[in-house]
């Protein structure tokens, strides 16, 4: 065998350096963990360290989680059966112990949650617990106290605002995160409608089981055969256990007699859209929900200036024996305003069945009631309240019911100081006449978005569309004018109220939006979504541009509509709101950002 002498006379210095380097490598490879390596070496068996969630803790630890675990580092590998037979906790709890591969690290968890706000002591008496027979020289004990119970806040909601005799409304109580206790509450019913006479309830209390976040009850309208009109139901909570109301929770429902054959769809008092002082359209828009052989049983009351509703004050009744067909849109317009309405709505005017009358006298602050005979079956606004300053006021504006929810365009929405506006040129377009509209644009940047992850356009569908492929989008870059069509929707149908997302990277947006992403009716991938936040967005119907966000001929840098690292979103009838330049830069989700995307907020 050949002998190697590392320390010959010629190589002493270099060989010594080699040995030192080798030792350093060996030492570093043996380190399990920086903080464990710093603990003292010992021949006797002992607990070297205790952690919780990877953080070192000391005896006397406060606010320990009731579903937490203790991580024990031992000086030696353990004899697990001997250790587990001697390890105890007081007050009693069922311990579950697991080990790493070396058996020198043990995780002590609990089969059931610990009690809240309780002091515990885990103990190991002196004994022989090492796998190699190593013994401890003293007793070990570790004390900790669990955190107090913090009741979650609760919210109350219903799946509908209105329901009818024979139909069911579901009322849901929700807590933000699941807890280890049952949450219970009583449900208090009020309003004009009477429990067990006008409607029944599946229960008069709600329980959210431990580990769950919701509990529900169902209300069922009782068919009594009487025509009584809509009756209000109010639902509140009392006697909450293990939850709190940050603010009083109240749900308001309306119980109708039967599903209606006719409903209010829109109200308007359009004014001052020609040179700031001309043009006027006072009208009510109704939708026929099922064939009606005789419209003459229906009428309309205009409750002027806060007047209380009164069947004796019905202002308009359809001609007797006039029929209507399911899906028909009836436009009751003041006779003096018909010509203005025809000019303002253009081709869309032909989609209505026109009824003229001198009874349409509303001023934008008046509630509207729809009657079947002498019974009011639906109302817009608040009958008995002057609408001036109310959210539903429609002076020089309109309100529209989309997918069962009223949209309020806002006072003075259609006013136009110079020239003649029409629905096609207005920034406050009546939804019925615009089956698709731009709803949101984005060039968001956040931690993890990459360059293109936040680029998308959102559209809203205002009427059922049989074939989306008649609509397209374009990005007008850097103020250079229109670039024409760059993305065409697929030949698929869409329903009224659908929100549709066209995204450069759908997966990236899905992660950033979380649960909000699931609220979109459809998501389409498109490389054409190349906007940088200073680019206008165009919506096409066929080859015609029907709506523009921003200005195709203006670079958006420094403009109010710039959305670099941000977004723009349409609210009300046509008002755009903005997140603010680079508002989401440090965020990892839209909900946690300084500017949550409006659709998700």
CATH number, domain with residue 131: 2.60.40.3710
Kindly report the CATH number assigned to the domain that includes residue 182.
2.60.40.1740
Q: pLDDT tens digits for 452-475?
A: 999 999 999 999 999 999 999 999
Same domain? 294 vs 328 = yes
- pLDDT confidence bin for 42, thresholds 50/70/90: low
Same domain? 312 vs 413 = yes
Asked if residue 150 has pLDDT above 50, the reply is yes
- pLDDT confidence bin for 40, thresholds 50/70/90: low
- Residue 572 zone, left/alpha/beta (φ > 0; ψ -120 to 50; rest): left
- pLDDT confidence bin for 203, thresholds 50/70/90: very high
Q: pLDDT tens digits for 405-427?
A: 999 999 999 999 999 999 999 99
Determine the pLDDT at residue 196: 96
Asked if residue 28 has pLDDT above 60, the reply is no
Instruction: Give mean pLDDT, residues 229-236.
Output: 92
Pick from 99, 124, 111, 114: nearest CA to 144: 114
Are 564 and 574 contacting, i.e. CB atoms less than 8 angstroms apart?
no
Asked if residue 589 has pLDDT above 90, the reply is yes
Task: Tally the residues of the chain.
Answer: 601
Q: Where among 146, 172, 204 does a domain terminate?
A: 146
Q: pLDDT tens digits for 377-387?
A: 899 999 999 99
Determine the pLDDT at residue 151: 93
Determine the pLDDT at residue 17: 41
**Interatomic CA distance for residues 75 and 49, integer angstroms:** 9
Same domain? 230 vs 278 = no
**Interatomic CA distance for residues 221 and 233, integer angstroms:** 11
Q: Where among 235, 256, 277 does a domain terminate?
A: 256
With the CA atoms of 490, 506, 582 and 551 taken in that order, what torsion angle do they form, in degrees rounded to the nearest 10?
-10
Domain range for residue 213? 154-256
Q: 180: which DSSP letter? A: S
**Percent of all residues in the chain with a pLDDT value above 70, rounded to a whole number:** 93
Q: pLDDT tens digits for 180-190?
A: 889 999 999 99
Same domain? 312 vs 422 = yes
- pLDDT confidence bin for 60, thresholds 50/70/90: very high
The three-state secondary structure class of 86 is helix
Which is higher by pLDDT, 42 or 199?
199
Look up residue 170 and give its two tokens.
């579901």
Strand partners, 183: 208
Determine the pLDDT at residue 255: 94
DSSP 542-582: TTEEEEEES-TTS--TTSTT--EESEEEEETTTEEEE--TT
Same domain? 269 vs 247 = no
Instruction: Give mean pLDDT, residues 62-78.
Output: 95
- How high is the mean pLDDT of the chain? 92
Same domain? 58 vs 159 = no
Determine the pLDDT at residue 200: 97
Are 334 and 360 contacting, i.e. CB atoms less than 8 angstroms apart?
yes
Asked if residue 149 has pLDDT above 60, the reply is yes
Kindly report the CATH number assigned to the domain that includes residue 326.
2.60.40
Q: Where among 112, 146, 180 does a domain terminate?
A: 146
Q: pLDDT tens digits for 469-525?
A: 999 999 999 999 999 999 999 999 999 999 999 999 999 999 999 989 999 999 999
- pLDDT confidence bin for 38, thresholds 50/70/90: low
CA 493 to centroid of chain Cα atoms: 24
Are 466 and 485 contacting, i.e. CB atoms less than 8 angstroms apart?
no
Same domain? 69 vs 108 = yes
Determine the pLDDT at residue 227: 78
Asked if residue 24 has pLDDT above 50, the reply is no
Determine the pLDDT at residue 6: 34
Sign of CA pseudo-dihedral 234, 235, 237, 243: negative
Instruction: Give mean pLDDT, residues 131-146.
Output: 96
Determine the pLDDT at residue 176: 81
Asked if residue 112 has pLDDT above 60, the reply is yes
Please give the model's pTM, rounded to 2 decimal places: 0.69
Are 369 and 311 contacting, i.e. CB atoms less than 8 angstroms apart?
no
Instruction: Give mean pLDDT, residues 393-401.
Output: 98
Q: CB atoms < 10 A from the CB of 236, how many?
A: 16
Look up residue 316 and give its two tokens.
């308009």
Asked if residue 540 has pLDDT above 80, the reply is yes
Instruction: Give mean pLDDT, residues 52-75.
Output: 95
Determine the pLDDT at residue 9: 39
Same domain? 243 vs 299 = no
Same domain? 346 vs 209 = no
Same domain? 549 vs 593 = yes
- pLDDT confidence bin for 211, thresholds 50/70/90: confident
- pLDDT confidence bin for 32, thresholds 50/70/90: very low
Same domain? 343 vs 388 = yes
**Percent of all residues in the chain with a pLDDT value above 90, rounded to a whole number:** 87
Asked if residue 18 has pLDDT above 90, the reply is no
- pLDDT confidence bin for 37, thresholds 50/70/90: low
φ, ψ at 95 (rounded to 5°)? -90, 145
Are 241 and 208 contacting, i.e. CB atoms less than 8 angstroms apart?
no
Look up residue 157 and give its two tokens.
């909601």
Q: What is the number of structural domains in the chain?
A: 5
Same domain? 278 vs 309 = yes
């Amino acid at each position: 065998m050949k002998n190697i002498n590392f320390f010959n006379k010629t190589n002493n210095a270099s060989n010594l350096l080699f040995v030192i380097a080798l030792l350093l490598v060996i030492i570093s490879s043996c380190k399990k963990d920086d903080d464990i390596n710093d603990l003292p070496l010992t021949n006797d068996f002992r607990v070297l360290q205790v952690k919780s969630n990877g953080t070192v803790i000391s005896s006397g630890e406060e606010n320990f989680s009731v579903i937490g675990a203790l991580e024990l580092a031992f000086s030696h590998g353990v004899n697990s059966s001997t250790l587990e037979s001697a390890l105890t906790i007081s007050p009693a709890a069922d311990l579950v112990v697991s080990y790493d591969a070396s058996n020198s690290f043990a995780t002590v968890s609990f089969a059931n949650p610990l009690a809240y706000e309780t002091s515990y002591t885990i103990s190991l008496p002196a004994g022989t617990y090492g796998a190699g027979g190593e013994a401890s020289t003293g007793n070990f004990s570790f004390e900790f106290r669990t955190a107090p119970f913090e009741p979650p806040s609760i919210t109350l909601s219903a799946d509908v605002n209105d329901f009818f005799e024979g139909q069911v409304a579901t009322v849901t109580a929700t807590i933000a995160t699941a807890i280890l206790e049952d949450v219970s509450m009583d449900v208090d019913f009020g309003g004009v409608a009477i429990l067990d006479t006008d409607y029944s309830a599946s229960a008069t209390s709600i329980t959210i089981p431990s580990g769950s976040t919701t509990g529900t009850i169902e209300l069922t309208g009782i068919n009594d055969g009487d025509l009584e009109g809509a009756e209000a139901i109010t639902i509140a909570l009392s006697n909450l256990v293990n939850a709190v109301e940050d603010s009083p929770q109240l749900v308001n429902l309306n119980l109708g007699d039967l599903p209606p054959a006719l409903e209010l769809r829109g109200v308007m008092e359009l004014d001052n859209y020609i040179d700031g002082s001309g043009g006027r359209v006072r009208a009510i828009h109704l939708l026929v929900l099922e064939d009606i052989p005789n419209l003459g049983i229906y009428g309309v009351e205009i409750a002027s200036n806060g007047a209380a509703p009164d069947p004796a004050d019905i202002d308009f009744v359809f001609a007797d024996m006039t029929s209507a067909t399911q899906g028909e849109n009836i436009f009751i317009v003041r006779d003096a305003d018909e010509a203005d309405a025809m000019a303002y709505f253009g081709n869309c005017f032909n989609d209505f069945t026109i009824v003229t009358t001198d009874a349409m006298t509303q001023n934008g602050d008046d509630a509207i009631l729809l009657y079947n005979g002498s019974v009011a079956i639906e109302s817009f606004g608040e009958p008995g309240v002057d609408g001036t300053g109310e959210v539903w006021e429609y002076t020089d504006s309109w309100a529209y019911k989309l997918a069962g929810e009223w949209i309020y365009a806002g006072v003075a929405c259609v006013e136009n100081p110079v020239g003649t506006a029409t629905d096609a040129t207005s920034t406050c377009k009546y939804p019925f006449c615009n089956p698709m509209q731009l709803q949101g644009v984005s060039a968001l940047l956040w931690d993890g978005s990459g360059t293109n992850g936040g680029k998308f356009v959102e559209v809203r569908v205002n009427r059922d569309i049989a074939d989306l492929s008649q609509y397209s989008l374009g990005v007008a870059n850097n103020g250079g004018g229109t670039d024409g069509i760059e993305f065409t929707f697929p030949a698929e149908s869409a329903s009224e109220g659908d929100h549709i997302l066209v995204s450069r990277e759908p997966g990236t947006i899905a992660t950033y939006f979380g649960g909000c992403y699931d609220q979109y009716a459809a998501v389409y991938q498109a490389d054409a979504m190349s906007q940088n936040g200073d680019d206008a967005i165009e919506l096409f119907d066929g080859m015609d541009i029907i709506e523009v966000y921003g200005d195709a001929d203006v670079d958006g840098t420094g403009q109010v509509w710039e959305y670099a690292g941000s977004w723009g979103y349409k609210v009300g009838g046509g008002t755009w709101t903005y997140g603010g330049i680079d508002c989401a830069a440090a965020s990892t989700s839209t909900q946690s950002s300084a500017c949550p995307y409006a659709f998700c907020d």
